[in-house]
Structure 1
Amino acid sequence: MIAATLSIGVLALPNMADAASYKVQSGDSFWKISNKFGVPLSSLLSTNNRTGSMLYAGETLIIPDTVTNAEKDLMARLVHAEAKGESYAGKVAVATVILNRVDHKEFPNTINSVINQRSAGGYYAFTPIQNGAINKPANAEAKRAVNEAIAFRGQGSGSLYFYNPETAKSKWILSREVTTTIGNHRFAK
């Protein structure tokens, strides 16, 4: 649960034509609602002109549509392929890397473009694109991890890369500043 005093950066407001509404139920919190709909918590708060966490059962919130269902599915399939066998936290971290790249000036600015990005040398940024593993359906845990990463968008350590140090062959990736290690993956800037 997010404390009411949490400082949250404001994201650009989405087009309200792409928004839905939600009637608050007893026991709801902004965190639960943002995770349920897979929208950034900061976007949910700013769209509804809120700075605190107080909600009332029966009130109606605007749910911004910041990530499409097709984008969530693509992310979940990549998370499933890249982080199979990793912990739930590792899956959330992989999804967060995708979102961090979308928000970073050195990468494409859409989820689809980030996931399908190729280097000048013709290499894909993510192996599952090259080997076809991206085409397999995602499991429920990968889908939940994507929604959680979206809800916490912009609140991680800024990781732009992840790799398995046991299998990584690139000296360049090993030179990146490590932000955290989760399971078999190192996350880096």
Structure 2
Amino acid sequence: MFKVIKTVAVGLFALISFQFSTDITKAYTVNKGDTLWSIGVEHGVSVLDLKEINKKNTMHVREGEYLHIPESITSSERDLLERLVSSEAEGESYAGKVAVATVVLNRVSSSEFPNTINEVIYDVSATGNPSFSPVMDGSIHEPADAQSKKAVKEALAFEGMGSGSLFFYNPAIATNHWISTRETTSVIGNHVFAK
């Protein structure tokens, strides 16, 4: 009787442990030609998080190596971010789309802004208007294009490695001149990025 109870208890513990670990990470076996960067982009996860969870001191990976892939944002957060990038950076280069997604992710990490992608995107500025024009004009509800979806995955992989841009604006159409007082981090296409 004790042996049966012990076996059931061990089996139940193993099941609970397996369930807990699969909620935290996914398993991935490195393929030929993979890099931490390509794995991060493919899975839409931060390269820095990949290094940390796998206790790696370098960017090097070996074919056949087993890696844990940390959880990233939810599929609904990803969809919302993709739609924002698609409408906010319409007509901009791929690099511009990555930079717009990066601004949102930087805001989530910043103590100056809300803590979630949804809250950042739907945040209302000091003027009482949404921070992003696609929220105001409704274009946020349009489906995202393929390039914007890819750009979001790249921004997720890049998370934590940029210059910390928290804002972007198009100087040709900007009406709030406060933004031009912020430190410029880069200029990509029609957008000036700043922190």
Mark the runs of 5 or more structure 1 residues left unpaired by the alignment.
1-14
Identity of aligned residues (%): 51
Corresponding residue for residue 92 of structure 1? 98
Corresponding residue for residue 59 of structure 1? 65
The answer to whether the aligner puts 1:74 opposite 2:80 as a matched pair is yes
Residue deviations 1:38-70 (CA, integer Å, cap 9, x gap): 000000111111112332222221111121121
Q: State which structure, 1 or 2, has the greater radius of gyration over its C-alpha atoms.
A: 2
Mark the runs of 5 or more structure 2 residues left unpaired by the alignment.
1-19
Given the alignment, which residue of 98, 119, 123 partners 1:117?
Answer: 123
SS in 1 for 2:104: helix
The answer to whether the aligner puts 1:174 opposite 2:190 as a matched pair is no
Tell me the CA shift for residue 18 of structure 1: 3.0
Tell me the CA shift for residue 114 of structure 1: 0.4
SS in 2 for 1:180: strand
Give the Cα separation in 2 of the matches to 1:120 and 1:162. 16
AA of the residue aligned to 1:22: Y
Give the Cα separation in 1 of the matches to 2:59 and 2:113. 33
Residue deviations 1:10-42 (CA, integer Å, cap 9, x gap): xxxxx8523211111111111110110000000
Give the Cα separation in 1 of the matches to 2:59 and 2:46. 14
AA of the residue aligned to 2:141: N
AA of the residue aligned to 1:30: L
Residue deviations 1:111-141 (CA, integer Å, cap 9, x gap): 1110110135421010101111000011111
The worse-fitting range, judged by mean Cα deviation, of 119-128 and 152-161 is 119-128
The answer to whether the aligner puts 1:134 opposite 2:140 as a matched pair is yes
AA of the residue aligned to 1:53: M
Give the Cα separation in 1 of the matches to 2:60 and 2:114. 36
- Superposed CA RMSD in Å reads 1.3
Corresponding residue for residue 3 of structure 1? none
Structure (1/2) with the larger helix percentage: 2
Structure 1 residues 54 and 179, CA, compared in 2 at 3 Å: closer, same or farther? closer
AA of the residue aligned to 1:99: L
Give the Cα separation in 2 of the matches to 1:121 and 1:166. 20
Give the Cα separation in 2 of the matches to 1:121 and 1:57. 53
Give the Cα separation in 1 of the matches to 2:159 and 2:48. 8
Give the Cα separation in 1 of the matches to 2:186 and 2:126. 28
Given the alignment, which residue of 142, 150, 170 partners 1:144?
Answer: 150
Give the Cα separation in 1 of the matches to 2:129 and 2:137. 12
